[in-house]
Amino acid sequence: MQISPAMEDYLMAIYRSQTVAERVSTSQIARRLGVSAASTTAMFKRLAEEALVEYHEYTGASLTAKGEGLAASLVRRHRLAERFLTDVLGIGLDQVDPMADRMEHALPPEVIDRFDSILQEPHTCPHGQPIPDKDGVLPDLHYSPLASLAAGEEATIARLEEGDPELLRYLVEQGLVPGARIRVVEKHPVDDLITLDLGGTSLVVGQRVVAALDVGDVPAPRTPRL
């Protein structure tokens, strides 16, 4: 059988929810895709039929080698598309995810390859998520949560959560994007607030924002090569 766009979305969702070989539940995927649990059960069966996942009733599904390879290539497509949208077309970080979500199903391999080379084989999407290589191998990025920094420490924002559009818009607005240099001015004992210095301006952020950010070494931005 052919892999449909819907199947692709489920595979990617499983891939992204699955921490090393763990089984993934119906409701997790249903939540992530905004779909009913019943629909997810049905899709788990179809995917199992195609030997893309191993599915056990009531206990969840996990990707087979075949499924994982495919999922990695899909995630690669998605993240390279995002990079292309930001770096070549200049579209905002807060807009590219839903766009890539549709485009990922329609971009032929040749186009993905060209994106990769034009962008000079990037290792992360614009949100800082790793891009699997052609063999599905993820680069290992050594990021740590913003919360782990002590007062006075300086760091570079490396990754941000991309689930919540409103949060994402806020982060972009404030300049809290990968590559931004920050310093922890003060960690408030109450409410887990943190005062940051961001290129001279000071900014107080709360738990929700703190949890959304990772810091670490971010690869130097490369200008697209055409």
Partner DNA sequence: AGTGTATGTTAGTCTGGACTAAAATTATGC
Partner DNA sequence: GCATAATTTTAGTCCAGACTAACATACACT
The one segment of 36-44, 100-108, 156-164, 169-177 that binds its own copies by CB under 8 A: 100-108
Q: Contact between 103 and its own copies (CB under 8 A)?
A: yes
Contact 190, 201 (CB under 8 A): no
Q: Contact between 111 and its own copies (CB under 8 A)?
A: yes
Contact 92, 172 (CB under 8 A): yes
Contact 15, 71 (CB under 8 A): yes
Task: Pick between residue 43 and residue 158 the one whose CB is nearest to DNA.
Answer: 43
One of 11, 63, 72, 85 touching its own copies (CB under 8 A): 85
Task: Pick between residue 24 and residue 194 the one whose CB is nearest to DNA.
Answer: 24
CB of 112 to DNA, least distance (A): 21
In this structure, the number of other CB atoms found within 10 A of the CB of residue 34 comes to 6
* Residue-by-residue DSSP string for 114-178: HHHHHTTS-SB-TTSPBPP-TTSPPPPP-EEEGGGPPTT-EEEEEEE--S-HHHHHHHHHHT--T
* Binding partner of residue 82 among its own copies, Mn ion, DNA, none, CB cut-off 5 to 8 Å per kind: Mn ion
User: In this structure, which amino acid lies at residue 135?
Assistant: D
One of 89, 137, 151, 204 touching its own copies (CB under 8 A): 89
Q: Contact between 9 and Mn ion (CB under 5 A)?
A: yes
* Pairing verdict, β 53-56 and 60-63: antiparallel
The one segment of 56-64, 80-88, 109-117, 140-148 that binds Mn ion by CB under 5 A: 80-88
Count CA within 13 A, CB hemisphere, residue 93. Answer: 25
Q: Contact between 183 and its own copies (CB under 8 A)?
A: no
Task: Pick between residue 10 and residue 194 the one whose CB is nearest to Mn ion.
Answer: 10
Residues that bind its own copies (CB under 8 A): 85, 88-91, 95, 99, 102-103, 105-108, 110-111, 114, 118, 224, 226
